[in-house]
């Protein structure tokens, strides 16, 4: 008889994914001993960096570089921005997990390429599955630019994509003459 180790699932969200069906499915998938991590990848807009760099006059050191305290201050502001945005996007999923009696482990990460970042985190964390949403139809040519489609291609872990909404069948498809 073999025993399986508890499952670890990574839910990637930007807040667009309906948390109720995701939590319902995920809790059944991982069981009581499993782990659920919730990741939100936040891209820090270059305009934000430009704004924080220009808000104050920054004196230069004798060698013409900015003092190290300025870089630390900028890093602190970026980390705060990522944390605040990440919390806002992940909170609906985390709240739904808490309502189901599960404490999800939040992870807010800065990244310019969400698909690559999610795939790298999944590999680094050695998760058993990645769950994410599809905000557009996955199987048309333009959709391969979507984060969900790119994670499916780039990630070396199993990926489950949950549609954001279910579409009603077209009326003319139901009428067979």
pTM of the model: 0.74
The H-or-E segment that residue 82 falls in is: helix 68-99
Looking at per-residue pLDDT, the higher value among 108 and 170 belongs to 108
Is pLDDT of 20 > 60?
yes
- Residues making up the chain, counted from first to last: 177
Q: Tell me what the mean pLDDT of segment 98-123 comes to.
A: 95
Which phi and psi angles does 3 have, rounded to 5°?
-110, 140
Is pLDDT of 46 > 90?
no
For residue range 118-140, what is the model confidence (pLDDT) as tens digits? 999 999 999 999 998 766 555 55
Is pLDDT of 62 > 80?
no
pLDDT at 139: 52
Q: Which CATH architecture has domain 8-43+87-174?
A: 3-Layer(aba) Sandwich (3.40)
pLDDT band at residue 40 using 50, 70 and 90 as cut-offs: very high
For residue range 147-156, what is the model confidence (pLDDT) as tens digits? 887 887 888 8
- Report the alpha-carbon distance of residue 163 to residue 177 in Å, rounded: 31
Task: Kindly give, in sequence order, each residue whose CB lies less than 8 Å from that of residue 138, ignoring residues fewer than 6 positions away.
Answer: 146, 148, 149, 152, 161
- Report the alpha-carbon distance of residue 177 to residue 173 in Å, rounded: 10
Average pLDDT, the chain: 79
């Amino acid at each position: 008889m073999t025993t399986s180790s508890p499952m670890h699932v990574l839910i990637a969200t930007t807040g667009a994914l309906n948390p109720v069906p995701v939590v319902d499915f995920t809790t059944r998938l991982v069981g009581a001993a499993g782990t659920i991590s919730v990741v939100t990848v936040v891209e820090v807009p270059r305009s934000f960096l430009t704004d924080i760099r220009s808000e104050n006059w920054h004196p230069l050191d004798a060698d013409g570089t900015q003092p190290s305290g300025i870089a630390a201050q900028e890093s602190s502001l970026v980390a705060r921005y990522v944390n605040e945005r990440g919390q806002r996007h992940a909170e609906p999923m985390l709240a739904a997990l808490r309502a189901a009696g599960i404490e999800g482990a939040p992870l807010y990460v800065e990244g310019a390429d969400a698909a690559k970042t999610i795939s790298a985190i999944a590999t680094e964390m050695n998760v058993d599955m990645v769950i994410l949403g599809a905000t557009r139809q996955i199987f048309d040519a333009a959709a391969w630019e979507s984060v969900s489609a790119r994670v499916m291609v780039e990630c070396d872990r199993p990926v489950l994509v949950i549609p954001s909404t279910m579409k009603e069948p077209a009326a003319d498809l139901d009428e067979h003459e």
